[in-house]
Amino acid sequence: MHSPIAPRLHARAAVGLALIAFALIATLSVAALTRPVDRQHLPTTLAELRPELRRLHRGEAPCVRWSDDAPLTPDERERFLHDLDDVLAVDLRTLLPTLAAIRLANHRAALTHHDAPPEQEVAAVAATRLDPADRLRVALRPERLRDLLPRLEQVEGEERRLLRDDLRAQRLRARLPPEDAARLDDLIQRWRAPLASPSAQEDLVQNVAARITQLRLQALRLGLIHYRDRFGSWPSTLQTLLAHLRAEQTLDPILDRGLAPDGSLRDGWLRPFTYYRLDDARARLISDGPAEHTGADDVFVTVTPP
């Protein structure tokens, strides 16, 4: 006759072994899911993902969300600036809100050709490069992918940037008569695809800023020489020079457009020019250039009488 205790002991042993096995599997699973994601398969730049991202675009229109990050050619740049100058005098006060309007137009166009926001598209395409276990880890903790993908922040926070762009575009249009606003809208539609990438816009901004700076330095140089010929000395300040030129009705429009509300004259990067007299025969004009504080790319002109 068998003891009834033996089956119970066997059952308890079986349950114990099952619990141990379950705990071991759970521990191994947690360890597998929490170990670091292998980042060697992830892209180091967004440019690596652009061809795959463009395949998410629906329709025949060019993909403006994931266009190649390349600047305009010199010929394209000159044609765009000529077109813009037909509507507005070109400097950063007009160019920056025009580019804001272009970004806004491209965003609205992308909404009709893409099923997901840009950050979700980037995350989805990047995740396909991971092995199945890493994809599961990322799915359980999506914030991991944000930490692993460099420059993903470029495509996040888009709503805040679009609100700012919308305000800039509205202010620009409010300054224009209806016919010029219509011409600006036509320009935006013609140029929004070539100017879709951040690189194209940044290159254009820097080119225009450098060009305006040189034009204003040239106009200031001529004005300073004229002032010295007239009065026998350099003006004490640029404001003194500009007031004189305005009184004589010889103030160059390129200088007039550079005057800020505080009366200071701004360079192409919208920063004040520096002016001082070296001696009776020389004066100096300085622009801080694109990098305001380094001094490495300052633009300066030493003015001497002819």
- pLDDT per residue of the chain (306 residues) written in tens, 0 to 9: 455 555 655 566 666 666 665 555 544 444 444 556 666 777 777 788 889 989 999 988 889 989 888 899 999 999 999 999 999 989 999 999 999 999 999 999 999 999 998 888 888 888 888 878 777 776 766 666 666 665 566 666 677 888 999 999 999 999 999 999 999 999 999 999 999 998 999 999 999 999 999 999 999 999 999 999 999 999 999 999 999 999 999 999 999 999 999 989 999 999 999 999 999 999 999 999 887 666 666 888 999 988
Residue with tokens 């190649």, as numbered in its chain: 68
Residue 159: name the closest of 112, 216, 104 by CA.
104
Residue 212: name the closest of 154, 145, 265 by CA.
265
pLDDT of residue 281: 93
pLDDT of residue 45: 76
pLDDT of residue 130: 80
Residue with tokens 């305000």, as numbered in its chain: 167
Q: Would you call 91 exposed, middle or buried from its count of C-beta atoms within 10 A (0-12, 13-18, 19+)?
A: buried
Query: Which residue pairs from 149-156 have beta carbons closer than 8 angstroms and sit at least 24 positions apart in sequence?
Result: 149/42, 149/43, 149/122, 149/123, 150/44, 150/45, 151/45, 151/46, 152/46, 152/119, 152/122, 152/123, 154/46, 154/198, 155/46, 155/118, 155/119, 155/122, 156/119
* 42 in Cβ contact with 123 (< 8 Å): no
pLDDT of residue 21: 57
Residue with tokens 């050709």, as numbered in its chain: 113
- How far from chain centre, in Å, is Cα 274? 28
pLDDT of residue 30: 47
